[in-house]
Amino acid sequence: MCEKALPAARTDAATQPAQPQRQPHQPPGPGQTLVMSIKELGNFEYDPDKGGGIPADVTKLTGSNIRLRGFMMPMDQAEHVTRFALVPSLFSCCYGQPPQVQHTIVVECAKGKEVTFSPDEVVVEGMLKVQETKDDGYVVSIFELAPTSVQVAAK
pLDDT tens profile 121-137: 999 999 999 999 888 88
Beta bridge partners of 8: none
pLDDT-based confidence at residue 60 (cuts at 50, 70, 90): very high
pLDDT of residue 104: 93
Inter-CA distances, 48 with 54, 85, 101, 117, 140, Å: 9, 20, 11, 32, 11
137: left (phi over 0), alpha (psi -120 to 50) or beta: left
Name the amino acid, one letter, at 140. Answer: V
pLDDT of residue 6: 45
pLDDT tens profile 28-47: 888 999 999 999 999 998 88
Task: Give the burial class of 88: count Cβ atoms within 10 A of its Cβ; 0-12 exposed, 13-18 middle, 19 or more buried.
Answer: buried
Does the pLDDT at position 113 exceed 80?
yes
Span 95-120, average pLDDT: 88
Contact 95, 130 (CB under 8 A): no
